[in-house]
C-alpha cells in the first residue's frame, strides 16, 4: 500500500516536471515568435543593417552567422572527432589520459566571455589579423571542441565491442575498422553532439564580440573572390553575427526602431536554429539509412 502511494507520487512529480519544462519552452518560443514574427519580411532579411536610420535589415548578419558556423565546423569537426577517436581507441588508460580528459571538461565549462578575451589576445592581437571571421571561428572552436571530443568519445565507446572484434578477426587493420565499422555505428550520436554544438555556435555572442567584431564591411554578394575585402566569403574580414547584432542594437543602437530590429532578429535566430536542427537530423537519418542498408 505504502509503496503504491510512493509510486503514484513519483509518477505525479515526473509528470509535473515534464509539464514545467514544456511550458517554459513553449512560453519562450511563443514570446519570441509572437513579438518578432511580425517584423520578419523579405525586406528585413535582404537589406543591410543601418546604424542611424530606421528600416535596416539583417542580411549581412544572417549570412555572417551561417558563414561563421560553417567555418567553425570545418575546423572543429575533424579535430573533435579525431580527439574522440584518440581518447576512445588509442589513449592508454592511466594518469595522462585522465588529465587530458579533465582538461577537456574544464575547457567546455569555461565562460564564453573568457574565451572571447583569450581570442582577442591570441587570434586578434598576436596574429595581427584584427577582427576576423577566422578569429571568431577559432574562438568558437576552442569553445566547442571539448563538446565534440566528449560526444565522439562516448559514441565510439558505446559501439558494441563485438563489432570491433568481428572486423579485427577478419584481418582488418585497426584504422580501417575505426573508419568503416566504428565511426558509421557511432555516427548518429556524434551527429547529435555536433547539432548541439552548432546551436551553441549560432547563438553565441560573448566569444565573438572581441574576435569577429561588431561591424561588417559593405559586402558585394556578386563578388565571389575570397581574397577581396568586399567579398562575403573573405575570412579575414570583420563580421557581426545575428546574436551579436541583437546585443549591440540593444546596448548601443542609435536607430529608432531598436525593438523591431532586435525582436525580429531574435525570431530569425530561433527559427534558423530550429530549421538547422531539423535539416541536420533529416540529412543524418538519410546517411544512416544508406550506410546501414535499412529502409
Partner 1 sequence: MVTTFLEKESTDQILQSTVPFQMENILKVNNLEIFYGEKRAVNGISLDIEKNAITALIGPSGCGKSTFLRSINRMNDLIPEARAEGQILYEDLNILSEQIDVVALRKEIGMVFQKPNPFPKSIYENITHALKFSGIKKKSQLDEIVEESLIKAALWDEVKDRLHKSALSLSGGQQQRLCIARTIAMKPVIMLLDEPSSALDPISNAKVEELIIDLKKDYSIIIVTHNMQQASRISDKTAFFFKGDLIEYDSTEKIFTNPSVKKTEEYISGRFG
Residue 38 or 176 having the CB closest to partner 1: 176
Q: What is the DSSP string of 66-122?
A: HHHHHHHHHHHHHHHHHHHHIIIIISPSSHHHHHHHHHHHHHHHS-HHHHHHHHIII
- For residue 183, the Cα-to-chain-centroid distance in whole angstroms is 21
Contact residues for partner 1 (CB under 8 A)? 92-93, 160, 162-173, 176, 180-181, 184-185, 291-295
Q: What are phi and psi of 41, to 5 degrees?
A: -145, 165
Distance, in Å, from the CA atom of 260 to the CA atom of 241, rounded to the nearest integer, reads 17
- 128 in the Ramachandran plot: left (φ > 0), alpha (ψ -120 to 50) or beta? left
User: Minimum Å distance from CB 190 to partner 1?
Assistant: 15
Closest to partner 1 by CB, 52 vs 170, is: 170
- Rounded to the nearest whole angstrom, what is the least distance from the CB of residue 35 to partner 1 in the complex? 46
The minimum distance between CB 167 and partner 1, in angstroms, equals 7
Closer residue to partner 1 (CB): 59 or 164: 164
Q: How far is the CB of 27 from partner 1 (least distance, A)?
A: 40
Closest CB to partner 1 among residues 199, 284: 284
**What's the length of the chain?**
295
- The minimum distance between CB 286 and partner 1, in angstroms, equals 15
Quick count: other Cβ atoms within 10 Å of Cβ 219?
Answer: 20
Nearer to partner 1, 165 or 220 (CB): 165
Per residue in 66-87, is it b (16+ CB within 10 Å) or e — as a string? ebbbebbbebbbeebbebbbeb
If the CB atoms of residues 125 and 173 are measured against partner 1, the closer one turns out to be 173
Question: Smallest distance, Å, CB 183 to partner 1?
Answer: 12
CA pair distance 293, 180, nearest whole angstrom: 14
Q: What is the largest CA-CA distance in the chain?
A: 76
Amino acid at each position: 500500500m505504502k509503496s503504491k502511494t510512493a509510486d503514484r507520487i513519483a509518477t505525479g512529480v515526473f509528470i509535473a516536471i515534464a509539464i514545467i519544462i514544456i511550458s517554459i519552452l513553449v512560453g519562450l518560443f511563443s514570446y519570441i515568435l509572437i513579438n518578432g514574427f511580425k517584423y520578419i519580411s523579405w525586406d528585413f532579411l535582404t537589406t543591410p543593417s543601418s546604424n542611424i536610420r530606421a528600416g535596416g535589415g539583417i542580411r549581412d548578419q544572417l549570412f555572417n552567422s551561417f558563414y561563421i558556423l560553417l567555418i567553425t565546423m570545418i575546423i572543429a569537426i575533424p579535430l573533435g572527432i579525431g580527439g574522440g577517436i584518440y581518447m576512445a581507441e588509442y589513449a592508454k588508460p592511466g594518469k595522462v589520459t585522465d588529465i587530458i580528459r579533465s582538461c577537456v571538461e574544464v575547457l567546455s565549462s569555461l565562460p564564453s566571455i573568457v574565451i572571447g578575451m583569450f581570442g582577442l589576445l591570441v587570434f586578434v592581437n598576436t596574429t595581427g589579423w584584427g577582427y576576423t571571421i577566422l578569429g571568431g571561428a577559432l574562438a568558437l572552436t576552442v569553445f566547442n571542441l571539448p563538446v565534440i571530443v566528449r560526444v565522439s568519445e562516448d559514441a565510439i565507446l558505446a559501439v558494441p565491442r563485438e563489432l570491433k572484434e568481428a572486423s579485427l578477426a577478419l584481418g582488418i587493420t585497426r584504422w580501417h575498422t575505426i573508419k568503416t565499422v566504428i565511426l558509421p555505428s557511432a555516427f548518429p550520436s556524434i551527429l547529435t553532439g555536433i547539432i548541439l554544438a552548432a546551436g551553441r555556435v549560432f547563438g553565441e555572442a560573448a566569444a565573438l564580440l572581441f574576435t569577429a567584431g561588431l561591424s561588417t564591411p559593405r559586402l558585394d554578394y556578386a563578388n565571389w573572390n575570397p581574397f577581396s575585402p568586399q567579398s562575403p566569403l573573405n575570412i579575414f574580414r570583420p563580421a557581426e553575427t545575428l546574436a551579436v547584432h541583437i546585443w549591440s542594437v540593444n546596448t548601443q543602437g542609435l536607430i529608432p526602431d531598436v525593438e523591431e530590429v532586435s525582436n525580429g532578429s531574435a525570431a530569425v535566430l530561433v527559427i534558423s536554429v530550429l530549421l538547422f536542427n531539423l535539416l541536420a537530423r533529416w540529412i543524418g537519418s538519410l546517411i544512416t539509412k544508406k550506410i546501414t542498408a535499412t529502409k
